[in-house]
Each structure stands twice: as structure tokens, then as C-alpha cells.
Amino acid sequence: MVRGKKTKFVFVTGGVVSSLGKGLAASSMGALLENRGLEVTHLKLDPYINVDPGTMSPFQHGEVYVTDDGAETDLDLGHYERFNSAKMTKKNNYTTGRIYQAVINKERRGEYLGKTVQVIPHITDEIKAVIREAADGADIVIVEVGGTVGDIESLPFLEAIRQMKYDVGADNVVYVHLTLVPYIAAAGELKTKPTQHSVKELREIGIQPDVLLARSDREISREMKDKIALFCNVDPSAVFTARDVSSIYEVPLALHKEGLDDKLAELLNIWSRAPRLERWENIVEKVTRPRLGDVRIGVAGKYVELVESYKSLNEALVHGGIANDCKVRLEFIDAQKLEEGDLSSLDKVDGILVPGGFGIRGTEGKILAVRHAREKRIPFFGICLGLQMATIEYGRNVLGLERANSLEFDESTPHPVVTLMEAQRGVADKGGTMRLGTYACRLEKGTKARELYGQELIQERHRHRFEFNNAYRGKYEAGGMVVAGTNPELGLAEMIELPNHPYFVGCQFHPEFKSKPFRPHPLFAGFVKAAMAFRDARAREVGAEVTKLPVGKGA
């Protein structure tokens, strides 16, 4: 694309039902256009009134994704970063709350010169301003509007993107609508009526979609696409099947096969090279047909009823499998149920991961999972709260620190081995006040962490208020636990490990936020590799027992 031309805008909306996969569709479009040599960035507009999702329950909203600059954002920004090279920041996710907050602050400063502040033009102008800011010189900005067309909350965003067509020119805007074409078993056919009604609703507010992505669990015939085009006033060549696939990393290839990126290039009048999708094909090959079998990873968490709560974590484990040409099968283990005493589920996995979380619920179950992994020599990986649980378990059961705990869970503990960070003392507001974003960590020579990273100084993303209490550091190191990584500025313990264990690693940061299918994070790659070794050793042990039985029986 010739530099100096106007930025192009692709607006993605969703209809019929929520959770259709707008984020994956937007990410896949970005991947396809980026593979044509274009500079692509993303923006997510969320209709909820929260300023950000940081204070929302994972059960309601799913994962909170954290960017390098410390923004707590929607989980779709994780998809954007995993599928594309663009770095997401605070400017790549705006909510209704954040938009209204900005407008109200301007009104308080008198910036509207005494005018009555209204949704149109003041709110919509603010939305358009953040859309332009997100562009930042990119060739294409893909703007995803959260929620479902018809929701009252999303109306200001839809009005703003309607206006954008006239602000920047029709040649620079494409509207993509993701909708559902369900298969009704009783009728024995796909039904287009929900899509027709969704597009009708969109057109009533002034937006005529240029492209329709029809989600379906099966192929949509040319005849049915023509019918959808006719009733939705869309060119038949702009109706595409967005069929279910076995891996999210197949989505760019599936949409390319449908011809979506060619149509977007045509509608936006973009001249570019053909996409180079070999690396995507290679990733899909490793995900769907790994050469080295399966490995089972047990995730002992408290949000296991909603796997979206651990979206980046799940994908980082998949990436660890890609790095080792192995398929990772996730077993979600409810930490609360472990507290009832049945730990048998932990013996069925090849590795145990204790993820982050907040609140006391399930923490004792996580501590039991850590102990099981340590004593049974099962590969263990603790992330954020997982590191804290590991230090508590070690303090109680190895160092003899009776009732060792975190001040988050027991303010009267005689051994607060996990304590509130100094910078967090006196903080009253909950939103956006944790230790957030990227911080440095210096790794010690001779540690597993240093071996995996292959360098001394690393940068990782954080999201926490509590930390390992450095007052106990000497006791822990004397007792066999190694502090493998330290923040060079504040001296905070960032990584711990047990050198006499096959793989026992904990980190205070969230490495899952920096893992990509093309660049698996070294901690996840190392963890999966250790789990594979444990799997193979157990298989050899079982095999040896099987071969010994007939001999013993004969004797």
C-alpha cells in the first residue's frame, strides 16, 4: 500500500447472539491483511459502563488481558496480539464508561463552551476521536464493536461508526457483520431468518453491511448464500461461511479459502501482494497432527466452570505443545473440590499448573495441589497466585512455619510469607491500581529459569497486589527453595524454583500474555517438555511392571 494514503477502517459487528467469535474473526482478518504486507492494528469498543474489566468477575466477563503499558483490557486484545504483530496498549480498548468519563471530565473543565452535552455529537465525537487515535498511521484499523446489534448499550458506538463512513469516505470503510445461521434439526435445514432480522436491525440504524460472515457448524451452500444476499441487500460475492474448525489457528486459513481477504482488498481498493500463509499452515499442522502424542496438564483453579477465564493461559499451553510437537490436553480441576480430600484427579495428569486468581476461595485446594506436585515429583508451574501458594506450601510443610499464609487470606497469620506490596498500602480504589504492566526481572545463573530464557534480563507483564515477603527470603533459600528471578529496582522475588525437582517453577508475573503460536513462551515450552518426560517415564515404569508380572507369577 502506498504510504501517505488515508488509513482504511474495517468495522466488525455481531448479530443474533453473543459469543459468536467477533474477536477471532477480527484477529483472523488482521492476520490475513498483515500477511499481504500491510500494517494492521486493532481497536475493541466495549458497551459496558465499567471503565475497564479489571473489577469484573471472571465468571461474568472472562479473562482480563494486560498490556505492556498496564491496561486491563478485554480478552479479545489477547487474540489480536497472538494473531498479529501489532502491540496493544490503553488506546486499543475503550468502554462506554471510559468514553463517558472522558466527556464528563471535558465538561467539568469547560471545554464545551457552555453547550448542552449530548450523546450526539459529544459522545459520538469522542468515540470517533479514539478510533482515529488507534489508527496511529497504520494502513488498516480493524474496529470490533462488542455486544450484539439490538443492545441499547451499543447504540452510541454504532452511530459513531455509521458517521465514520462520511467522515473518511466510503472507499475507506468496510462494515463486516458476523451473524449466525443455525441448523435446526427438527426441520433438517439451516435457517437464515435470524441473519435477516439482524441485518434489518443494523440497517434501521443506518449501517448497510458490506460483508457478511455467517457462523455455522456446517458448509453453507451457494444457493443459501445467494438467498442471504438477496434478503440482506449484500452482494452475493460478499457472503462467507465462518464454519466451526478444530483449532482457532485454522480460522485465518478457512476465511482465506472462502476468499474473505480478497474481497476486503477489493472493497477497500488495496493493492498488495498475495498473503504468505505457510507459517499458519505449519502451526495448524502441529496443532492438529502432532508427532509426539498427547500430554495432560491439570489446571487447578477456581474459575474452571468458565474456561474463558483462563483464555491466554489455555492458548499459551497450546503454544507449549506446538514448541514440542505435542498435543496438550487440558484437565480443569476445581480447587475447592481438592479441599474435600480427593486428590485422585492430580494423579491422572502429567503436569500440574496453579494459575492466578483473587480471594480465599479454593486457595487451600491449590496448596494441596502444590504439595502433591512437589512430593510426587510431578512437573509444576505456578503463576502469580500460583507462586504465592507454592511459597505458602513450602513454608508450612518443609520449613515448619506453622499457619504460614498470605495476609490477603489470614491477617493474623504468625508467618505472613506473602504480604501486601509496599506501594499498595493505603490504596482504596480497586480499579486500575494493582501492579500492572511490564517490569524487569533479573535471572540468576545456574537456574532453570535462566536456562529456559537463555538471557539474564527479561521483561514480563504483571497484575497483582501481593508479593513474596522478602523478610523470609533467607530462610527459604537456606531451606532449599531458590529465588531464581528478582526485580532489579525493588528487589521483589519474581521467580522461584526447586533445583531437586524435575520441574518446579513459579513466577509472580503472567507469562501467558506474551506467548504466541509462532513464538511460544519459554516457560510454557519448558513446562510441557517436562510433562512429556514425566509421561514417558511413567509409561516406561508401567510397561516394566507389566513385563515383570508374568515372570513373578511363574515363579
- Contacts with 254 (C-beta within 8 Å, 6 or more apart), sequence order: 242, 243, 245
Sign of CA dihedral 469, 473, 477, 482: positive
Q: Determine whether 15 is exposed, middle or buried from the number of CB atoms within 10 Å of its CB (0-12, 13-18, 19+).
A: buried
231, 181 Cβ separation under 8 angstroms: no
Sign of CA dihedral 128, 131, 133, 138: negative
471, 442 Cβ separation under 8 angstroms: no
In the numeric block, the cell 512437589 is attached to: 374
Q: Report how far residue 452's alpha carbon sits from residue 455's, in angstroms, rounded to the nearest whole number.
A: 8
Neighbouring C-beta atoms of residue 527, cutoff 10 Å: 28
In the numeric block, the cell 461461511 is attached to: 241
Nearest to 404 by CA among 495, 480, 312, 472: 472
**Parallel/antiparallel/unpaired status of strands 504-507 and 493-497:** antiparallel
- Contacts with 131 (C-beta within 8 Å, 6 or more apart), sequence order: 9, 43, 141, 143, 160, 161, 164
Q: Which of 144, 393, 408, 512 is catalytic?
A: 512
Q: Does 384 qualify as catalytic in the annotation?
A: yes
- Contacts with 438 (C-beta within 8 Å, 6 or more apart), sequence order: 68, 69, 70, 459, 460, 461, 462
CA dist 306 → 80, 310, 320, 334, 339 (Å): 21, 8, 22, 11, 20
Residue type at 235 in one-letter notation:
D
Three cell numbers written together for 536: 514417558
Backbone phi, psi, residue 9, to 5°? -125, 130
DSSP 519: B
Q: Which of 79, 319, 510, 521 is catalytic?
A: 510
| Exposure b/e, 293-303, CB count within 10 A at least 16 = b | eebebbbbbbb
Alpha-carbon radius of gyration of the chain: 26
**Parallel/antiparallel/unpaired status of strands 482-486 and 493-497:** antiparallel
Q: Which of 384, 393, 408, 464 is catalytic?
A: 384
287, 320 Cβ separation under 8 angstroms: no
Q: Does 510 qualify as catalytic in the annotation?
A: yes
Tell me the CA end-to-end span of the chain in Å, nearest whole number: 79
Which H helix or E strand runs over 529? helix 522-554
Q: Does 512 qualify as catalytic in the annotation?
A: yes
SS3 447: coil
CA dist 318 → 120, 383, 475, 493, 520 (Å): 45, 16, 37, 27, 9
Q: Report how far residue 307's alpha carbon sits from residue 45's, in angstroms, rounded to the nearest whole number.
A: 23
Q: Report how far residue 152's alpha carbon sits from residue 544's, in angstroms, rounded to the nearest whole number.
A: 65
Q: Which residues are catalytic?
A: 384, 510, 512
